[in-house]
Amino acid sequence: MTQLASGTTRTATDATDRCSAVAWSGDGEYLAMTVNTPRGYVLQIVHLETGIPVFGQVLGVQAPPVAPSMTWRGDTLVLTDRTGAWVLPTLLLTLTF
């Protein structure tokens, strides 16, 4: 559950398992999160004001034992595994909406 500046709340994901990492976009308009689902380890991005998911993709990597660090750099989302569980320790995703 995420509370918006307006005071209303939104459910950011309907995933039944855990959400391990989150990052708000620089303008606060989007929330990115990694979520364990039956399909695999998924990156979801939600437009917070509407609650509409704008991106959802299985990452093709195992959920690391510790949440990855995740941050926005402009329109690029940077995920870094600090445990060595991923073959490539950093994923860079440039997104356009």
List C-alpha distances in Å: 47 to 26, 40, 56, 61, 89.
13, 22, 12, 24, 27
What's this model's pTM, rounded to 2 decimal places? Answer: 0.76
Q: What is the pLDDT of residues 40-70, one digit of tens each?
A: 888 999 888 888 889 999 988 888 888 889 9
Residues 50, 55: Cα–Cα separation, whole Å: 14
Q: What is the pLDDT of residues 2-54, one digit of tens each?
A: 555 566 655 555 554 566 788 999 888 899 999 888 888 889 998 888 888 89
Q: What is the pLDDT of residues 65-97, one digit of tens each?
A: 888 899 999 889 999 988 888 888 888 888 876
Pair 48, 28: CB distance under 8 Å? yes
